[in-house]
Structure 1
Amino acid sequence: MSLRARLTLAATAMAAVGLGIGGILLIVALDRALLGALDETARRQGEDIATLVESGRLPDPLPGFGAVVAQVLDADDRVVASTPGGDRLTPVVAGDDLAAVRAGEAIDLDGTRLGQPEPLRVVGVPTDAAGEPRIVIVAVSLEEQQRSVHFAKIGVTVGGLTVTAALAVLSWLVIVRALRPVDRLRGGAEEITGAGGGHRLPVPAGGDELSRLAVTLNDMLGRLDAAAARQRAFVADAAHELRSPIAALRTELEVALAHPDAVDPHDTAREALVEVERMARLVDDLLVLAHLDSPRPVRREELVDLGELALEVADGVRGGRVPVRVADDGGVFTRAHRDSLSRVLRNLVDNAVRHASSQVTVSVSGGGGSARVAVADDGAGVPEADRVRIFERFTRLDDARDRDAGGSGLGLAIAREIVVVHGGTLVVEDAAPGARFIVRLPAAKTTVGAPEAVPPRARTDGR
């Protein structure tokens, strides 16, 4: 069954059950009310006859007052007087029924005992005549009460069925109208191929749940389109970056094969190795970015001394184009993956060395619950307009392209991704002259067995 049919069936079933329960309660209430009214009428008739008994003016036969049968019985259950239609010798009721009537109850009696096609309702009114107890027995017909209840049952049944059918039709129309935006959403979703183009789902009018759902889905589609665009750009940039070393390597090999006598094999192998190493670095960077782009990049946390790590990175660039100086306040720790932070500092220091004029300074400090590492150079600096774009993947400024043709433009992007994964920030600011890259990470307190804080130290060129 369709959703429309299930909802309509559920609404109709609930309405039918509610109407059925209401109809049953109505019939029961009507039946009790009519019986109560009939009993009250019979007792009033009995009270009128009891008044005649008490006044000593009891006629024979008794006036009917609209009752089928009325009898006056003495204490020995003998008939003292009766209406013309009653038996003057035998009481209308006897035995347990008569005891119940004397106790003040109203009972039902089969009308065939008195030649009546309909059942009777019998009540008793106690009285006395000259000190002798008497009871007035009044039997009235239940024909009108049963006819009224029967007509009420027919009316409730027909009315309930009619109302249920009307509610079913109304429910179907309302549900169809309510689900019409869902059909439009489904149609809009079928037009989305996943190839981009900015297609969006139609948003229903109003601020109901469906419109909010459509807005949420459109936001999700926007994020997916943006992610797909970034992925396509990433693949295109990666392919473009790989073409350069592959083309250079191919050229070297083709020249070596075409002119074996004019080319030194050792030079060819050395130049080919340079291009292979360049491709290896690029592939390694791509793998790191793929790992960082995973929903939950796995990282092992350990206590890291940032000053010691900065000295290790500075030692790694010993003999570089410019000296690298490390200024450490001492005792600055954070919890992170040591190899990942080492890659961050190495990328920042390599970038600073490429752009510095005379020196690079790495400063490690702490305070305010954060650990701070600043890598500054005295080069041309980064224009303010490019201080955000420089962290995008495969982004290289013009001077960077001229200075380092072998760079892939992934170093700063990788550094920022690693820092963000560890709950920190990486920004660049003006160092006047040059640029200063600042890494902020959550500081960690040392525990028992952790390395003791060391006094401030300074190193130049890793030595």
Structure 2
Amino acid sequence: MALGVTGLAVGLAVGGLLLVVLLGYALQRTVDDEAFKTADAVARLATQDALPDPLPVAGGQVRVQVVAAGRIRAASIDADRLVPMLYADERARIGDRGRITIPGQRLGMRGPVRVVAVTGGPAGDPWTVLVAKSMADVVQGVRLLRDTLLVAFPLLVALLAVVAWRVVGATLRPVEALRAGAEEITRSGRPGELPVPAWQDEIHRLAVTLNGMLARLESARVRQRSFIADAAHELRSPLANMRTQLEVAQRLGPGTDWPALTEDLLADNLRLGRLVDDLLLLARTDEAPGPVGPGRAVELGALIAAVAAPYPAPPVRVQPPDGPLWTRGDPDVLGRIVANLLDNAVRHARDRVTVAVRADGAYQLITVTDDGSGIPAADRERVFGRFTRLDDARARDVGGAGLGLAIVADLVRRHAGTVTLGDAEPGVRAEVRLPAAAPPADAAPPAAAVPSPAAPPADAGPPADVSPGAAPPTEVSPAEPDAQRLRFVQTCVERPTDSVE
């Protein structure tokens, strides 16, 4: 604030100085104008050879002389009739319509005197009209203003400093309250809110914004702590199982069933690896939460067939689409979406899991239907949360870690799609909608596609229910040759240089 008061004082000082200078200049111009008016009037009389004697003037602070060849031809009543007001060199220096300031003592007047010269009279014998006007009133007015400013200036600066201190203090008091609140939150490490001032001003909006930011940070911190705790718990379970089995084997010694132990350890190791992979995938998704780029053209019929190939049949069955159905994205990520849904469906199904894809307006609809116990309607949104499992009492080697559907939700969102869970009566129907895309330029024509049954209408129920007369769903066997995966790569993924029309 001291810097601001100093700047204000300097600004007032410069302004006061300019005021004094400009006022003196303006008053001097006024004196010159009045003197020239008088000189012009006398010059016209001299030109007409009608000069009165003495010359008439207004006021006692004006002297007029008409000088020709160094002699005074006429003068006002108070002017000297013997000695000109200006010396010869002064008259020669200012010339016609010139002006000069001389001491008032020379003319017997107070203060400095302003003298103007105007040429008049006959053409062959020009006369010089000299008009002198006292500037005592001008000097006195400027001095009065200067003295007033010198006295009032310090008082004004002091008053403005006090007002600025009070105003700035009142303005910064809410900011200080925000700072103190932030320091308290930082010191205590506990969640809290910053004080919000009552006035609806910028400080109020700043406090509201900061409180919103603190709330989001606290929510993120809680989610992070919960995520770390859940991840640690899930990681500890297979590690504890492996340690227990090894300790038992160590105590049994030669009586250990090593093939069975190896199989159990391998299962726990695989489960641990899947959990770590899921955690890494979620971490990468959190680092880049935005949508994926344009990606590649992917044919979803071939995609679901290739993803479902490793699963046992039954229970997994694929309902082929009528023709190629294209979307754009990362084929590996889209395959992970279908695989996670199939894992979840196989885990809870009784006898049947059906995966299908069909067109749905501007989207391609992927459905994965099982005939399990289903999910209550109130929990169908909650299951997409991380580490969410509806049956906490079940054995952990049977149930998953609760990350599969969370991964599906994040990956579908990054592909500008949606995922929902519905009732399959019995069981659950997972529906993934992805934006439809045009086929790539080098895509095979529809006539070359493998014949498939007609797609069911939108209101015909779950894709697993095949209408009479339609071809039965394709049974996918894990014994299919590896050539199927090669065909999948060739048919559902366009080359990076191809463009979509």
TM over 0.5: yes
Q: Which residue of 1 aligns with 2:214?
A: 221
Select the residue among 358, 363, 366 that pairs with 2:359. 366
Number of aligned pairs? 453
1:309 paired to 2:322 = no
| Counterpart residue type for residue 474 of structure 2 | R
- Using the TM superposition, name which of 186-195 and 431-440 deviates more: 186-195
Q: Which residue of 2 aligns with 1:205?
A: 198
User: How far is the alpha carbon of 1:364 from its aligned partner?
Assistant: 0.9
Q: Using the alignment, how far apart are the partners of 2:252 and 2:196 within structure 1?
A: 68
Q: Which residue of 1 aligns with 2:265?
A: 272
Select the residue among 47, 54, 58 that pairs with 2:53. 58
| Counterpart residue type for residue 312 of structure 2 | R
Q: Using the alignment, how far apart are the partners of 1:418 and 1:451 within structure 2?
A: 28
User: How far is the alpha carbon of 1:209 from its aligned partner?
Assistant: 1.4
Contact 2:291–2:414, Cα closer than 8 Å, also in 1 = no
Contact 1:327–1:361, Cα closer than 8 Å, also in 2 = no
Select the residue among 143, 151, 169 that pairs with 2:162. 169
Superimposed CA distance per residue, residues 178-235 of structure 1 (whole angstroms, 9 cap, x where no aligned partner): 1111111111111224986431111122221111111111111111111111111111
Q: Unmatched 5+ residue regions in structure 1?
A: none
Could you say if the C-alpha distance between residues 134 and 274 of structure 1 is closer, same or farther in structure 2, counting changes exceeding 3 Å?
closer
Could you say if the C-alpha distance between residues 166 and 376 of structure 1 is closer, same or farther in structure 2, counting changes exceeding 3 Å?
same
Superimposed CA distance per residue, residues 54-111 of structure 1 (whole angstroms, 9 cap, x where no aligned partner): 7776259x999524644343x4442134468754343222547547888445432344
Could you say if the C-alpha distance between residues 274 and 72 of structure 1 is closer, same or farther in structure 2, counting changes exceeding 3 Å?
closer
**What RMSD in Å do the two structures reach over aligned CA positions?**
3.7
Alignment of 1:9-28 (within 5 A): 9=5, 12-13=6-7, 16-17=10-11, 20-21=14-15, 23-25=17-19, 27-28=21-22
Q: Using the alignment, how far apart are the partners of 2:114 and 2:26 within structure 1?
A: 13
TM-score (normalised: structure 2):
0.78
Contact 2:43–2:121, Cα closer than 8 Å, also in 1 = no
Contact 1:348–1:412, Cα closer than 8 Å, also in 2 = yes
Q: Using the alignment, how far apart are the partners of 2:392 and 2:29 within structure 1?
A: 105
Q: Using the alignment, how far apart are the partners of 1:291 and 1:34 within structure 2?
A: 81
Alignment of 1:45-84 (within 5 A): 58=53, 66-67=60-61, 69-73=63-67, 75-82=68-75
Superimposed CA distance per residue, residues 153-197 of structure 1 (whole angstroms, 9 cap, x where no aligned partner): 222343344323322332232122211111111111112249864
TM-score (normalised: structure 1):
0.84
Could you say if the C-alpha distance between residues 252 and 106 of structure 1 is closer, same or farther in structure 2, counting changes exceeding 3 Å?
same
Select the residue among 324, 331, 346 that pairs with 1:331. 324
| Counterpart residue type for residue 53 of structure 2 | L
Contact 2:39–2:118, Cα closer than 8 Å, also in 1 = no
User: How far is the alpha carbon of 1:29 from its aligned partner?
Assistant: 3.3
State the identity as a percent.
Answer: 41
Q: Using the alignment, how far apart are the partners of 2:398 and 2:189 within structure 1?
A: 33
User: How far is the alpha carbon of 1:353 from its aligned partner?
Assistant: 1.5
Contact 2:24–2:138, Cα closer than 8 Å, also in 1 = no
Q: Unmatched 5+ residue regions in structure 2?
A: 453-472, 481-501
Contact 1:106–1:123, Cα closer than 8 Å, also in 2 = yes
1:448 paired to 2:463 = no
Q: Secondary structure at the match of 2:85?
A: coil
| Counterpart residue type for residue 231 of structure 2 | A
Q: Which residue of 1 aligns with 2:286?
A: 293
| Counterpart residue type for residue 432 of structure 1 | E
Alignment of 1:171-186 (within 5 A): 171-186=164-179
Q: Secondary structure at the match of 1:448?
A: coil
User: How far is the alpha carbon of 1:119 from its aligned partner?
Assistant: 2.7
- Using the TM superposition, name which of 420-429 and 260-269 deviates more: 260-269
Q: Secondary structure at the match of 2:387?
A: coil
Q: Using the alignment, how far apart are the partners of 1:222 and 1:251 within structure 2?
A: 43
1:461 paired to 2:500 = no
| Counterpart residue type for residue 422 of structure 1 | H
